[in-house]
Amino acid sequence: NAGVTQTPKFQVLKTGQSMTLQCAQDMNHEYMSWYRQDPGMGLRLIHYSVGAGITDQGEVPNGYNVSRSTTEDFPLRLLSAAPSQTSVYFCASSRRTGFTEAFFGQGTRLTVV
Amino acid sequence: DQQVKQNSPSLSVQEGRISILNCDYTNSMFDYFLWYKKYPAEGPTFLISISSIKDKNEDGRFTVFLNKSAKHLSLHIVPSQPGDSAVYFCAARGNNNDMRFGAGTRLTVKP
């Protein structure tokens, strides 16, 4: 009964380093997305995907890349980490059509020093 | 450009009383609205939703009201319980199925 799984749960990076946040879902959902949560800002959409091979930008895409080679996985890449990317990152998945809710992972707390 | 706004960062109510959380939105193309509950160190969990063709949806102690002309929705929790203490996020779904969230309201229910 995994749902949406994110790894790692915690990460500390130095400025300029790159890394990939992993996200996997086992519900066969077409739609997947990444959000970042910052104090007073709520959850802001970074990138999303409506299916394998299709991705698009959300509200705050700069500094992040995504790809969707399979239905199950949607990794988020930080190309050159900056202190402004210190945040809690959430991955979510949902069905693509119909009135349906999104399911969220447990989050990744990232600190860039 | 924040399309979904929750103007009250926090709300404190007494156990057994009603909690009312408010949310405003600017995009008239939103067709589906959701409320999520979030505990510390956990991901948001779905609570209740409403489509744009309805004005009310109930699920047990939780009721969501939608006023499309005012672009306003609210979540009523009655009676409030200490276990309801959490951060509540309002969300709205756009054309591409992407969800936009408000900043959240921290609800504290005092015993």
Which residue's entry shows tokens 């756009």? Answer: B94
Contact A107 B32 (CB under 8 A): no
Provide the shortest C-alpha distance from residue B63 to chain A (in Å). Answer: 16
What confidence tens digit (pLDDT) does each residue in B4-31 have? Answer: 999 999 999 999 999 999 999 999 889 9
Structure tokens at B53: 């063709």
Structure tokens at A78: 């930080």
Q: List CB contacts (< 8 A) between A7 and chain B.
A: none
Mean pLDDT, rounded, of chain A: 94
Among A40, A58, A101, the residue with its CB nearest the CB of B98 is A58
Residue range B65-73: average pLDDT? 96
Contact A43 B41 (CB under 8 A): no
Contact B100 A59 (CB under 8 A): yes
Provide the shortest C-alpha distance from residue B97 to chain A (in Å). Answer: 7
Provide the shortest C-alpha distance from residue B104 to chain A (in Å). Answer: 6
The reported pLDDT for the residue numbered B73 is: 97
Contact B42 A107 (CB under 8 A): yes
Provide the shortest C-alpha distance from residue A2 to chain B (in Å). Answer: 13
Contact A105 B43 (CB under 8 A): yes
What confidence tens digit (pLDDT) does each residue in B35-67 have? Answer: 999 999 899 999 999 999 999 999 999 999 999
- Residue B8 near chain A (CB below 8 Å): no
Contact B101 A43 (CB under 8 A): yes
What confidence tens digit (pLDDT) does each residue in A89-110 have? Answer: 999 999 887 778 899 999 999 9
Contact A42 B103 (CB under 8 A): yes
Count CA atoms within 13 Å of residue B34 on its CB side. 21
Higher pLDDT, B31 or B109: B109
Number of A/B CB contacts below 8 angstroms equals 60
Q: What is the rounded distance in angstroms from the CA atom of residue A92 to the CA atom of residue A102?
A: 6
Contact A42 B9 (CB under 8 A): no
**Number of Cβ atoms within 10 Å of the Cβ of B110:** 11
Give, in order, the Cα–Cα distances in Å from B86 to each of B9, B39, B76, B83. Answer: 12, 5, 14, 8
The reported pLDDT for the residue numbered B1 is: 67
Q: What is the rounded distance in angstroms from the CA atom of residue A53 to the CA atom of residue A20?
A: 18
The reported pLDDT for the residue numbered A1 is: 66
What confidence tens digit (pLDDT) does each residue in A34-81 have? Answer: 999 998 888 999 999 999 999 999 999 999 999 999 999 999 999 999
